[in-house]
């Protein structure tokens, strides 16, 4: 399939809904002209070393903004370092960077280059993450840095996720963890979302912010590709309440060709998240001709049922042309309807078609009796009949977190 790269005369953002799931708000970052094509990047072979304690290092002295010693790093005798934040487990030679492009070997020490350097910071509905079963109807203060450990060819936030590879320099602001929490509280947010790019690449920044947020009574959510190592998830679990995980397909070939990663680490991370008590919702962007085979989607849905549970929400999202896939047409609405039915036949209780407002797919029903519990219009709740987080008809508790906090809000 031919690849058409974006140019200054083709705006991929304009070809999708402005409020698409997980998309960066269009006015949150200035987009310079496209740079050179990203290089081919292959993940390093995984290893399972025994790491020393991963206590958070102190930030640097401020002479170089954003640069702090990294956690989850293994120093090697030849002054190389191996990063254990994500499943690439990059072996990084002195002076070089990992696949994410924001973790660098400085003379035998791994450093993060983006601590406190936010490229986006804004209040959004938590439903936009999308998280439908975590504090419904509340705001999530959403932050991001540049960089990503995937290089998905369809990335809708490529202007920031692929900025280091593309030679772009989107503007950033100095936003230390305490300031993130202060802004979130001032905005009336119920949670802080680490989103728009893979948050594991800025795990030092995310952890420090999440700990302060937890102390301030705020929740923490990741919008993630699920490529964390077990070591990273063990560190995050005490302060991470929920995650929406992009399960981008159900074949290793798709992951390698389109995302520069592997499938199995994502599956392993999903199972571990649930075991660690993190509330999980799953999103699959259905890309025509790439991951829309009905048999593959059925296998994916059956895996969610068997490994994560039938009440795990599955968001099946409509693709719109973006980044290096401008030549791929949008997902037919019919395909989204069929995928929703595939999920329900597999036994999933909560399947939500997304990026297709004409389907009105935001209704949450009781998994036991089918009663409508929450009705949404876009990302707004227009009807909420939960009583203490339970169905008013049969009394069954809706799976999720923070549901008892959300009382009848009436029609928005």
Q: Map 72-122 to HEC letters.
A: CEEECCCCCEEECCECCCCEECCCCECCCCCEEEECCEEEECCCCEECEEE
130: cis peptide before it, omega within 30°?
A: yes
Find the mean pLDDT for residues 188-193: 98
What's the mean pLDDT when you consider all of the chain? 88
Find the mean pLDDT for residues 83-98: 98
Give the pLDDT of residue 407: 56
Give the pLDDT of residue 405: 85
| Proportion of the chain above pLDDT 70, given as a percent | 83
- Angle made by CA atoms 189, 204, 254, in degrees to the nearest 5: 90
Task: Report how far residue 22's alpha carbon sits from residue 318's, in angstroms, rounded to the nearest whole number.
Answer: 12
Tokens representing residue 302 in the block:
């059956």
| Proportion of the chain above pLDDT 90, given as a percent | 82
Tokens representing residue 83 in the block:
């990063």
- Angle made by CA atoms 202, 192, 301, in degrees to the nearest 5: 80
Please report which confidence band the pLDDT of residue 347 belongs to, taking 50, 70 and 90 as the band edges.
Answer: very high
Instruction: Return the beta strands (E) in 145-276 as ranges.
Output: 173-174, 191-194, 219-224, 242-246
> Comparing C-alpha atoms, which of 411, 412, 406 is closest to residue 138?
406
- Give the chain's largest Cα–Cα span: 66
Task: Report how far residue 260's alpha carbon sits from residue 152's, in angstroms, rounded to the nearest whole number.
Answer: 7
In sequence order, what DSSP letters do the residues of 300-368 get, joined into one string?
Answer: HHHHIIIII-TTS-EEEEE----TT-TTSPPPPHHHHHHHHHHHHHHT-S-EEEES-GGG----EE-TT
- Angle made by CA atoms 347, 350, 352, in degrees to the nearest 5: 120
Predicted TM-score (pTM) of this structure: 0.87
Bridge partner list, 123 = 141
Kindly list the structural domains of the chain, giving each domain's residue range(s) and its CATH number in brackets, ordered by start: 12-37+118-358 (3.20.20.70), 68-112 (no CATH), 363-412 (no CATH)
Q: Which of the pair, 48 or 264, is modelled with greater confidence?
A: 264
- What are 366-376's pLDDT values in tens digits? 999 999 999 99
């Amino acid at each position: 399939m031919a690849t058409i790269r974006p140019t200054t005369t083709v705006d991929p953002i304009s070809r999708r809904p402005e409020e698409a799931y997980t998309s960066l708000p269009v006015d949150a970052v200035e987009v310079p002209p496209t740079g050179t094509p990203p290089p081919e990047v292959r993940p390093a072979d995984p290893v399972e070393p025994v790491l020393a304690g991963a206590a958070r290092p102190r930030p640097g002295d401020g002479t170089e903004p954003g640069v702090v010693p990294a956690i989850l790093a293994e120093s090697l005798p030849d002054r190389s370092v191996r990063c254990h934040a994500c499943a690439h487990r990059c072996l990084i030679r002195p002076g070089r960077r990992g696949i994410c492009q924001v973790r660098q070997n400085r003379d035998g020490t791994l450093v993060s280059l983006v601590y406190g350097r936010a490229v986006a910071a804004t209040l959004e509905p938590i439903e936009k993450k999308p998280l439908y079963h975590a504090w419904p109807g509340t705001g999530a203060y959403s932050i991001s840095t540049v960089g990503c450990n995937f290089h998905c060819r369809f990335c809708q936030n490529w202007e920031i996720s692929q900025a280091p590879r593309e030679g772009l320099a989107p503007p950033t602001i100095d936003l230390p963890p305490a300031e993130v929490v202060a802004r979130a509280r001032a905005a009336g947010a119920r949670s802080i979302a680490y989103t728009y790019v893979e948050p594991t690449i800025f795990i030092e920044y995310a952890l420090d912010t999440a700990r302060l947020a937890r102390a301030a009574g705020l929740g923490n959510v990741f919008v993630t590709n699920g490529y964390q190592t077990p070591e990273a998830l063990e560190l995050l679990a005490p302060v991470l309440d929920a995650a929406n995980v992009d399960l981008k397909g159900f074949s290793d070939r798709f992951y390698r060709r389109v995302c520069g990663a592997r499938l199995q680490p994502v599956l392993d991370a999903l199972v571990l998240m649930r075991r660690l008590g993190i509330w999980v919702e799953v999103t699959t962007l259905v890309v025509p001709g790439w991951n829309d085979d009905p048999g593959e989607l059925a296998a994916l849905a059956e895996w969610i049922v068997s490994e994560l549970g039938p009440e795990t929400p599955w968001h099946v999202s409509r693709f719109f042309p973006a980044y290096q896939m401008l030549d791929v047409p949008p997902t037919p609405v019919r395909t989204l309807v069929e995928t929703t039915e595939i999920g329900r036949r597999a036994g999933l209780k909560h399947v939500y078609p997304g990026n297709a407002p004409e389907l009105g797919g935001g209704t949450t029903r009781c998994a036991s009796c089918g009663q409508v519990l929450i009705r949404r219009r876009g990302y707004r709740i227009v009807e909420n009949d939960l009583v203490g987080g339970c169905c008013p008809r049969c009394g069954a508790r809706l799976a999720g977190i923070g549901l008892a906090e959300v009382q009848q809000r009436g029609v928005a």
